[in-house]
Structure 1
Amino acid sequence: MRNATCAAVFLSFISLASGAAAARAQVIDWSSAGGGLFGVAPDDGDVGVGLEGHGDKIAALRQPYQAAIATAARRHDLDEKLLHAVIIVESAYRPNALSSAGAGGLTQLMPGTALELGVRNRFDPIENIRGGADYLARQMIRFGDVRLALAAYNAGPARVASFGGVPDIDETRAYVATVIECFLALTAGREIANSRECRASEVAP
């Protein structure tokens, strides 16, 4: 009986030692996931320390018309970076932008849409931003999906509803992808002036 007890104690010790070793060995290297999105696996003693050469805070949003866009976004519970991203793609912050189809202003409102939204002067930045935020929020509420809301903003809600998803229109698909890309760039703390600057930068090995 004594020998059996000693054997049981010995096996328990071995099991605990093995578990501790396994725990030490389970340091997951995320460096290859997402192209280095998660940084590098920490060395002993480096847990909780930021990457060398980087601050511990993402740069605050610094974009044109920031106060007006923030106010309009808050009014409709929109993420202001998403509203900025739409404006970047629509007009690159040019208040007098006018498309060949007749859409005008920062958020590129069509005359009929502007009238429906109560926007009297599409080329007044504050009015236009308010109208664009309102229209985007309506699409978000209707479709319950950011991609579908953006597709509706570009191609019209009737097309999205009829297709049952993002319409198979090259311009619309590219538009949705670019707005999301700009949103991600702004979220990462980058200052963006136009949609070309939203593309992910190549990271040197």
Structure 2
Amino acid sequence: MFSLAHITRNLLLAALVAAHGLSLAQVPPKKLPTYDCLRGNSRSAHCEQLLRNYWQHEPAIRAIAVHYGLEPALLMALVAIESQFNSRARSPAGALGLTQVMPDTARGEGLQDPKVNLYQPELGLATGAAYLRKMWFEFRDWELALAAYNAGPGAVRKHKGIPPYRETQAYVPMVLALYREFAWADAMARASK
């Protein structure tokens, strides 16, 4: 039987690797700086922070996903890839918070003062969840919704599918693969109760 801690460590390992644009199959485990930590053999500061962030935000991610009609595992995967559960994350392009929403997008979703409020976990999560749901209702396809979340809906419309941008081409399968892992972990946790 798998423990929740074992499942969580494996998922977080996958999230860390995916955030660097790789898959676990592409990286020999001993070459990953966080491998020993996530396997419980070491305690690097980065890994400890990732685990703290995950456990701190996991209940809010689940609650907000349900509120917006999303599967918690999907929002969890998006947050893992976007920010590695770091509510203070800022991308080079200026996306902010757990869901890495751009301030202009957040304003379009009705968020006041996004440069401050996207860093507030619940507000940032709610804004990202609302935007993802909006993309789902526009495209009615999760691959296209995720592509629009990453590259913008205009790019998806222009290319009539997932845009040929390297980042977006990698982003969509990474989020969906991690979503399946989180959904599996949720199913295992429910089965063990």
Could you say which TM-score interval applies, normalised by the shorter chain?
0.5 to 0.7
1:75-112 per-position Cα deviation (integer Å, ceiling 9, x unaligned): 22110110010000000000010011010100001111
State the partner residue of 1:124: 120
Question: Are the equivalent residues in 2 in contact too, given 1:106–1:123 (CA < 8 A)?
Answer: yes
By how many angstroms is 1:170 displaced? 1.1
TM-score by length of 1: 0.61
State the partner residue of 1:88: 80
Identity %: 38
Mapping for residues 17-32 of structure 1, pairs under 5 Å = none
Mapping for residues 108-123 of structure 1, pairs under 5 Å = 108-120=100-112, 121-123=117-119
**1:177 correspondence with 2:169:** no
By how many angstroms is 1:168 displaced? 1.1
The amino acid that maps onto 1:77 is G
Question: Are the equivalent residues in 2 in contact too, given 1:86–1:179 (CA < 8 A)?
Answer: yes
State the partner residue of 1:97: 89
1:152-201 per-position Cα deviation (integer Å, ceiling 9, x unaligned): 000000110111111111110100011011111112218xxxxxxxxxxx
Q: Which has the higher relative contact order, 1 or 2, with Cα contacts under 8 A spaced 6 or more apart? A: 2
The amino acid that maps onto 2:83 is S
CA distance in 1, matches of 2:86, 2:72: 18
Please give the root-mean-square deviation of Cα atoms over the aligned residues, in Å.
2.0
CA distance in 1, matches of 2:96, 2:125: 11
Of stretches 72-81 and 153-162 in structure 1, the one that deviates more from structure 2 is 72-81
Question: Are the equivalent residues in 2 in contact too, given 1:119–1:128 (CA < 8 A)?
Answer: no
Of stretches 156-165 and 58-67 in structure 1, the one that deviates more from structure 2 is 58-67
1:32-90 per-position Cα deviation (integer Å, ceiling 9, x unaligned): xxxxxxxxxxxxxxxxxxxxxx47xx959965322212222122211011001000000
Q: Larger radius of gyration, structure 1 or 2?
A: 1
Q: Which has the higher helix share?
A: 2
TM-score by length of 2: 0.65
Unaligned stretches of 5+ residues in structure 1: 1-53, 191-205
**1:189 correspondence with 2:182:** no
SS of corresponding position for 2:180: helix
Which structure 1 residue ranges, 4+ long, deviate > 3 Å from structure 2? 58-64
Mapping for residues 1-205 of structure 1, pairs under 5 Å = 54=1, 63-64=54-55, 65-120=57-112, 121-189=117-185
SS of corresponding position for 2:185: coil
The amino acid that maps onto 1:109 is V
By how many angstroms is 1:119 displaced? 2.5
Unaligned stretches of 5+ residues in structure 2: 9-53, 187-193
